Structure 1
Amino acid sequence: MEIWPAIDLRHGKPVRLRQGDYNQKTVFGDDPVEFAKRWQAAGAKRLHLVDLDAAKGDDPTANREAVARIVAETGLPCQMGGGVRDEAAIESLLGLGLNRLVVGSAALKQPDWFASMCDAYPKQLAAGIDARDGMVATDGWLETSSTPAIELAQDLRGRTENIAAIIYTDIARDGMMSGPNFEGLAQMAAATDIPLVASGGVTTYDDVRKLVQMQMPAAIVGRSIYDGVMQLEEVIEIAGDK
């Protein structure tokens, strides 16, 4: 199982939110590159970046310099989500050297457009499906739609073969240190053949072992490694991410 350590960016600094709430923010320092290098030294082979400013509709360029430095100074494959809503954003972000982009709200609201972008940039775009009680949440998790997450995944698969992955996040678990929604992940995995990345709530080594047993292709780890609840080296060892 691939392990993707997360670096969430707000005003150029590394932060973590609780349940996507911008008012429940912990700032972990001034320089996100420092964390990128720390996770690389611990054995990370790839990084998951989130542009919280762009996701919220704030300045979409606020974190570009930090992202470019992470990519350049680590040389690791990086994927990033947050505010990827048009082709201009896709072009400029891929131009920073990012390997893969995560498209969230736009994949739900403009599925034809998203499918066309997947075909134009094959295997470089992943769908970020964020769910609250099984329903897709959008706009930086500020809105909840009436679309079941599984239906969205199946609809997108029906439109394109070139989608890279689904980043599936249960908002209720994100940043709460309460464990993933294993049932929701299992249902999503059974519903589509798109590679699935488990996100939100991966807190303990047992969580990692269970995801491996479920044959989950990949998982994102965030707050637990920042707070020292898990050591990234051990997570990578359990995941067999060699």
Structure 2
Amino acid sequence: MEIWPAIDLRHGKPVRLRQGDYEQQTTFGDDPVEFAQKWQAAGAKCLHLVDLDAARGDDPAPNRAAVRRIVEATGLPCQMGGGVRDQETIEALIEAGVARLVVGSRALKDPNWFTQMCDAFPGKLAAGIDARNGLVATQGWLETSEVTAIELAKTLREQTANIAAIIYTDIAKDGMMQGPNFEGLAEMAAATDIPLVASGGVTTYEDVQKLVEMKMPAAIIGRSLYDGVMDLQRVLEIAQP
């Protein structure tokens, strides 16, 4: 199972939010490159980056600069989400060296556009499906739709073979250190053959082991690494024996 350590960016700095709430932010220093290199030294083979400013329509420039520095400093494949809603942004981030982009809100609101982009950039785009009580949330988790996560996944699969993955996050679990929504992940895995990335709430070594036993292709881990609840080297030993 691939492990993607998360680096969430706001104003160019590494932060974490609780349940996507911008009012519940913890800032971890000034330089996200330090964390990127720390995770690389621990054995990380890839990184998951999030532009929290772009996700809600704020200026993405400071985070874009940070992303470029992370890519240049580590050389690791980086997956990035947050505010990826048009072709210009896709092209700019790929040019900056990002290996894979996560499209959230617009994949729900305009699945035809998303599948066109998947076909134009095959293997470069993943759908970020963030769910609150099973319903897809959009606009940096500020809005909740009437579409279920599974319905969206099935629609996307029907429309394109070039989608790289689904990043599935249960918002209620994100940053809460209470474990992921295993039931929701199992339902999503059963509903589609798109490679699934577990995100939100992966907190203990037991969580990692259970995801391995579920044959989850990949998992994103954030807060538990920053808080020292889990050691990345040990996580990788479990995930990639």
State whether TM-score is above 0.5: yes
Alignment partner, residue 215 of structure 1: 215
Alignment partner, residue 122 of structure 1: 122
Q: CA deviation at 1:56?
A: 1.1
Q: Secondary structure at the match of 1:53?
A: helix
Residue 53 of structure 2 is aligned to residue 53 of structure 1: yes
Q: CA deviation at 1:143?
A: 0.4
Alignment partner, residue 140 of structure 1: 140
Partner Cα separation in structure 1 for residue 215 and residue 116 of structure 2: 30
Q: 1:188-199 to 2 correspondence within 5 Å? A: 188-199=188-199
Q: Secondary structure at the match of 2:61?
A: coil
Say whether the 8 Å CA contact 1:135–1:145 is kept in structure 2: yes
Q: 1:63-78 to 2 correspondence within 5 Å? A: 63-78=63-78
Q: CA deviation at 1:178?
A: 0.4
Q: CA deviation at 1:61?
A: 1.9
Q: CA deviation at 1:140?
A: 0.2
Q: CA deviation at 1:28?
A: 0.3
Say whether the 8 Å CA contact 1:174–1:201 is kept in structure 2: yes
Partner Cα separation in structure 2 for residue 22 and residue 65 of structure 1: 21
Q: CA deviation at 1:7?
A: 0.1
Alignment partner, residue 170 of structure 1: 170
Partner Cα separation in structure 2 for residue 59 and residue 13 of structure 1: 14
Q: CA deviation at 1:42?
A: 0.3
RMSD: 0.6
Partner Cα separation in structure 1 for residue 240 and residue 62 of structure 2: 35
Partner Cα separation in structure 1 for residue 160 and residue 60 of structure 2: 27
> What are the Cα deviations for residues 99-148 of structure 1, in whole angstroms up to 9, with x where unaligned?
00000000000100000000000000000000000000000000000000
Alignment partner, residue 12 of structure 2: 12
Partner amino acid for 1:26? T
Partner Cα separation in structure 2 for residue 229 and residue 83 of structure 1: 30
Residue 187 of structure 2 is aligned to residue 181 of structure 1: no
Say whether the 8 Å CA contact 1:53–1:62 is kept in structure 2: no
Alignment partner, residue 111 of structure 1: 111
> What are the Cα deviations for residues 29-66 of structure 1, in whole angstroms up to 9, with x where unaligned?
00000000000000000000000000011002221111
Q: Secondary structure at the match of 1:62?
A: helix
Partner Cα separation in structure 1 for residue 173 and residue 188 of structure 2: 16
Partner Cα separation in structure 2 for residue 148 and residue 66 of structure 1: 34
User: What residue ranges of structure 2 are gaps of 5+ in the alignment?
Assistant: none
Q: 1:152-167 to 2 correspondence within 5 Å? A: 152-167=152-167
After the TM superposition, list the runs of 4 or more consecutive aligned residues in structure 1 that deviate by more than 4 angstroms: none
User: What residue ranges of structure 1 are gaps of 5+ in the alignment?
Assistant: none
Residue 83 of structure 2 is aligned to residue 83 of structure 1: yes
State the number of aligned residues.
241
| TM-score, normalisation: structure 1 | 0.99
